[in-house]
Each structure stands twice: as C-alpha cells, then as structure tokens.
C-alpha cells in the first residue's frame, strides 16, 4: 500500500512477504522497488481503513454498547465493565472475540486491563499476536514498568526527549520527581501514566451509528386485503417522507419488506430517476408492483427502508398549501416505466464529447444516479460544425455522382430514389479515434477518415452524406448517407 508523500510515493503498509523481502512502511516506493523488484503496490486508502475500523467497532457492539476506535486510528476500545460475565468472564470474552475476529480474517492483538491505557500499552508493546492477555486487576504497575515509554501513547518527540534523558521505560518515570518532569515535558507523560495506572479516569467515547431511514408497522391482526396493504403502505410512506424531509434527503431507492405470519418474508423494491420525497409519487410506483403479491396466511409487519438517498432541499409551499411540483410528467413516466419494465430497459442518452457522430452520445439507465461530470463536453466551447437531428442507425451506402473527388455530390441515389443536389457545403473531415484501436493506432487513422457534406436536394430535403477514406486516383470512392437535417 502506498501513499503520496514528499518526494514521491511512500509505503504505507506491507504484507508479510514484502516485510520478509526487507521493505517496510515509510520507505519511498522507488527505493522499495530497488530492494524488492517484484513489489506490487496499490494506493492506500486511509479513509477506507478508518471506515472499516469504525464498522468493526460497531460490530463489536455485540459485546458491549461502549465501543470506539482509538485516537491513533489503529485499534478499537471495548469497555466491558459489567458485560464480561455475560460471556463467561473476561478470559472467555476475549477468547470469543479472538475467535470471531480470526474467523473474519483479522490478526489480533488483544489485552484486557483495569484501564484503557494499560490495555493499549500491552496490545501495542507486549501482547503476542492471537494470544489475548488479561492483566489481573491492580497489576498494571508491575506490567507497565518494563514497557517502553512510547507505550503511554506519547508524541514521538516526547518519547525521544525522554530517551535522551535516559528515561526509556515506564518504570524509569515512576522514580523521577513529578514537578521537574512536568516542567520539561509538559503534562502529557504523567497524565498518561496516571491514566494507565488508574490514578486518573479515562473514559471511552462510544461509537454511535447513524439512525437508518426506516419505518416499521406491525399489525395486531395479520392483514391480507390489498386495501389494507395499500393503507399501510400509505402510512409508511408518509412517515418515511417526514424522515426524509427532516434530513433534507430524497429517496432514490426504497425497499419494502413484508413479514408473513409463517415467518417467511418477501420484498419489493423501487428506484427513481431523481431524489423524491413525494409520497403520492412513491405510492404509485409501489402499487404497480403490489398487484400480484401473495400475502399467504397474512402479513404481520411491514418495514420500509430507504436504500439510496440523495440530498434534496425543501420545496417552498405555495399559498394553496401544495408543495410546488418539481417533477414533470416525463420524470414520472420514466419512473413508472422504469419500475415496471426494469431499470435497464428504460434508457436515456448522455452526451459524450466525440467528433464521431455515432459515439457522440451513450445510453445510460434512466433510473441511474446522474453521474454526468460537471463539464460533460470538455472543449465544447470551440465552434463546431452542425450535426443532423436524425442519424441513421448505421450509415447506408449510396450511389453518387461527384465531379471532382474533393467536391460534394451533384446527384445521389438512396433506396432507389434519385436526388439532385442544389446546395452543398463541406467537407468536414473526421478521423477515427485512434486510441480505441491500439494495434494500428500509430498510423493516425489517415486511411479511415470520412469527409462529411451537408447537401440539399431539389425538394429542399437536407442530407448528411460522407465519402469514406481519402481520395485515391483510380479507386472509385465509397459514399454513405448518415443523417438528415431539418
């Protein structure tokens, strides 16, 4: 794993094989490659690491409600006061934790102690991998005394300063008068020492997960009538839209779970082409899908969850109390068709910056999040030749009469109809996108150019035709019709 640093990328973390090969964190990548030529590197993701750690902390909530990631960002605290007995004591809890984490693919260093500081020190400086350590109550002084002062979670410069004084172990600090030490190194060493030894309290700030967008409805009597289900859905959607409004979000995807009395469940999902918190609209989208539900012996609960949300600012209500309708008929239609036919069946075109007409747009799912970049058509400012309104799916060959090869046609035949040309402009020469065809890219595609002409026939119909390839004496040129201008 590499991370950008001054003077080029540096290693952020290495696996066992790389470590054995003699490279380690902090080394410049170039240097590491010199040492270990086969080294494979990938970008580090500190934010992702932190997210994963936070998720793990949340997962550890199975042991205690008080879990948190530590300030150094490489460990997790569990305050198991009063919880250990539920798992058969501290040692059993630790063994269970170790087993589960190992099963998840993690390597563990675990310690339990009276104080967070002591546990941290032991995990980082004494515990063996995979062997949970339980420091007996009141024994932390003895255990800590032999550990280096760095185990007190001190800044590196403080550790270095203490080392220069010959104070290397925590035990060395115990014998130094406190006042002179504080004068020279600030409060941190003794505060951390006191915390680790239990002379001062240190609390763990727990990790709080964000409340999910969920509403739930349980029925005293199982329901199975369509009308009851619709009514319940209405209630759920109202509650959901209130929640969304409170957080200024709009739903892009919703999931409705049904719990039948026979302990089976099923679900219905919908998606929308843009953030919505209009209960009516969402209701319509759901109803289409509820037509053939099987309520079985009855439904005892329904849970509605927003699976995807996007920011949506509150809308101004008008004097009649109706919120201004932001959506248009088209987006409603897109949502309804999309949910009925499947998200990949309803497409819209996204513009793409390409000179080649057939590559100038691409189809995307109409329900997909709009990921059009801020500047969808880079370089679009420069004036460009006009494009036809209608493009044939594939260019169709035509028979052409053109006087000089560089000139536009004077007459052409398409689908057996003859067209006499009265006006023309061109050519617009378009080369192929050479980078999409690597084997022959380097020629620059000069042989596969097209010369496009805008032409108008005697009836005033305007065509877009092109000649394929450059003019070559002796070879009759090939012409194609590609589109129509209004």
Q: How crowded is residue 309: how many other Cβ atoms within 10 Å of its Cβ?
A: 20
Within 329-477, strands assigned E span 347-351, 361-365, 390-401, 411-414, 417-430, 450-457, 462-468
Q: Residues 274 to 313: which contact other proteins by CB under 8 A?
A: none
* Residue from 9, 298, 388, 469 in contact with other proteins (CB under 8 A): 9
Nearest approach in angstroms of CB 464 to other proteins is: 10
**Distance between CA atoms of 409 and 402, rounded to whole angstroms?**
4
Task: Kindly state whether residue 84 participates in binding other proteins, applying the rule CB under 8 A.
Answer: no
Task: Kindly state whether residue 354 participates in binding other proteins, applying the rule CB under 8 A.
Answer: yes
Please name every residue paired with 414 in a beta bridge, in sequence order, or none if there are none: 417
Task: Kindly state whether residue 168 participates in binding other proteins, applying the rule CB under 8 A.
Answer: yes
Task: Kindly state whether residue 73 participates in binding other proteins, applying the rule CB under 8 A.
Answer: no
Nearest approach in angstroms of CB 25 to other proteins is: 11
No. of helices (H) and no. of strands (E), the chain: 13, 18
Q: Residues 29 to 58: which contact other proteins by CB under 8 A?
A: 29-31, 33-38, 40-43
Judged by CB under 8 A, the number of residues near other proteins is 76
Within 104-153, strands assigned E span 111-112, 133-134
**Distance between CA atoms of 269 and 102, rounded to whole angstroms?**
35
Task: Kindly state whether residue 264 participates in binding other proteins, applying the rule CB under 8 A.
Answer: no
Any idea what DSSP says for residue 315?
P
Task: Kindly state whether residue 427 participates in binding other proteins, applying the rule CB under 8 A.
Answer: yes
Nearest approach in angstroms of CB 452 to other proteins is: 6
Residue window 180-209: x/- pattern of binding to other proteins, with contact defined by CB under 8 A: x--xxx------------------------
Nearest approach in angstroms of CB 5 to other proteins is: 13
Q: Near other proteins by CB under 8 A, which window of 49-57, 154-162, 225-233, 269-277?
A: 154-162
* Residue from 252, 454, 467, 482 in contact with other proteins (CB under 8 A): 454
* Residue from 82, 211, 379, 474 in contact with other proteins (CB under 8 A): 379
**Distance between CA atoms of 477 and 464, rounded to whole angstroms?**
16
Q: How crowded is residue 224: how many other Cβ atoms within 10 Å of its Cβ?
A: 16
Nearest approach in angstroms of CB 388 to other proteins is: 12
Q: How crowded is residue 375: how many other Cβ atoms within 10 Å of its Cβ?
A: 9
Q: Near other proteins by CB under 8 A, which window of 84-92, 203-211, 275-283, 440-448?
A: 440-448
**Distance between CA atoms of 310 and 254, rounded to whole angstroms?**
12
Q: Near other proteins by CB under 8 A, which window of 56-64, 148-156, 207-215, 321-329?
A: 148-156
Nearest approach in angstroms of CB 323 to other proteins is: 39
Q: Residues 117 to 136: which contact other proteins by CB under 8 A?
A: 125
Task: Kindly state whether residue 150 participates in binding other proteins, applying the rule CB under 8 A.
Answer: yes
Task: Kindly state whether residue 477 participates in binding other proteins, applying the rule CB under 8 A.
Answer: no
The DSSP bridge pattern shows strands 2-5 and 133-134 to be: unpaired
Burial of 214 (0-12, 13-18, 19+ CB in 10 A): middle
Residue window 402-421: x/- pattern of binding to other proteins, with contact defined by CB under 8 A: --x-x---------------
Nearest approach in angstroms of CB 53 to other proteins is: 20
Task: Kindly state whether residue 82 participates in binding other proteins, applying the rule CB under 8 A.
Answer: no
Q: Near other proteins by CB under 8 A, which window of 88-96, 104-112, 294-302, 383-391?
A: 383-391
User: Token pair of 183, please?
Assistant: 């004068």
Nearest approach in angstroms of CB 31 to other proteins is: 8
62/184 with CB nearer other proteins: 184
34/317 with CB nearer other proteins: 34
**Distance between CA atoms of 181 and 173, rounded to whole angstroms?**
9
**Distance between CA atoms of 234 and 239, rounded to whole angstroms?**
9
Residue pair 465/409 in contact (Cβ under 8 Å)? The answer is yes
Residue pair 78/87 in contact (Cβ under 8 Å)? The answer is no
290/410 with CB nearer other proteins: 410
* Residue from 425, 458, 461, 472 in contact with other proteins (CB under 8 A): 425
**Distance between CA atoms of 451 and 299, rounded to whole angstroms?**
66
Nearest to 148 by CA among 129, 171, 132: 171
Q: How crowded is residue 479: how many other Cβ atoms within 10 Å of its Cβ?
A: 22
**Distance between CA atoms of 196 and 117, rounded to whole angstroms?**
4
């Amino acid at each position: 794993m590499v991370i950008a640093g001054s003077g080029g990328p540096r290693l952020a973390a290495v696996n066992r094989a790389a470590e054995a090969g003699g490279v380690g964190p902090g080394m410049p990548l170039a240097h590491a490659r010199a040492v270990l030529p086969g080294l494979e590197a990938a970008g580090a993701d500190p934010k992702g690491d932190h997210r994963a750690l936070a998720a793990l902390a949340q997962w550890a909530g199975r042991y205690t409600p008080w879990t948190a990631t530590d300030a150094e960002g490489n460990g997790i605290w569990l305050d198991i006061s009063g919880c250990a007995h539920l798992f058969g004591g501290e040692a059993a809890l630790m063994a269970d934790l170790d087993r589960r984490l190992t099963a998840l693919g993690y390597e563990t260093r675990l310690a339990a102690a009276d104080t967070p500081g002591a546990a941290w020190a032991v995990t980082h400086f004494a515990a063996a991998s995979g062997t949970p350590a339980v420091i007996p109550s009141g024994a932390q002084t003895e255990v800590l005394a032999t550990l280096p002062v760095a185990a007190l979670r001190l800044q590196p410069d403080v550790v270095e300063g203490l080392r220069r004084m010959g104070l290397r172990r925590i035990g060395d600090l115990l014998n130094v008068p406190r006042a002179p030490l504080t004068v020279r190194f600030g409060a941190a060493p003794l505060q951390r020492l006191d915390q680790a030894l239990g002379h001062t309290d240190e609390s763990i700030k727990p990790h709080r997960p964000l409340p999910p967008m969920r509403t739930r409805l349980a029925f005293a009597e199982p329901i199975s009538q369509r009308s009851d289900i619709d009514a319940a859905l209405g209630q759920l959607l109202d509650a959901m839209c209130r929640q969304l409004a409170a957080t200024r979000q709009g739903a892009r995807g919703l999931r409705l779970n049904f719990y039948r009395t026979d302990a089976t469940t099923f679900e219905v999902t919908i998606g929308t082409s843009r953030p919505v918190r209009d209960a009516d609209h969402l209701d319509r989208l759901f109803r289409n899908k509820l037509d053939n539900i099987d309520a079985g012996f009855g439904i005892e609960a329904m849970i509605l969850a927003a699976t995807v949300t996007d920011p949506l600012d509150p809308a101004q209500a008008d004097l009649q109390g109706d919120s201004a309708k932001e959506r248009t008929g088209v987006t409603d239609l897109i949502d309804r068709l999309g949910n009925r036919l499947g998200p990949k069946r309803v497409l819209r075109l996204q513009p793409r910056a390409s000179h080649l007409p057939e590559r100038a747009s691409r189809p995307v799912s109409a329900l997909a999040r709009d990921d059009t970049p801020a500047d969808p058509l880079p370089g679009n400012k420069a004036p460009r030749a006009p494009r036809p309104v209608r493009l044939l799916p594939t260019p169709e060959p035509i028979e052409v009469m053109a006087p000089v090869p560089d000139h536009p046609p004077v007459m052409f035949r398409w689908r057996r109809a003859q067209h006499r040309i009265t006006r023309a402009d061109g050519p617009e020469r378009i080369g192929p996108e050479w980078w999409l065809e690597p084997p022959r890219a380097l020629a620059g595609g000069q042989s596969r150019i097209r010369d496009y002409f805008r032409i108008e026939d005697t009836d005033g119909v305007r065509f877009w035709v092109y000649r394929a390839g450059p003019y070559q004496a002796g070879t009759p040129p090939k012409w194609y019709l590609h589109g129509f201008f209004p």
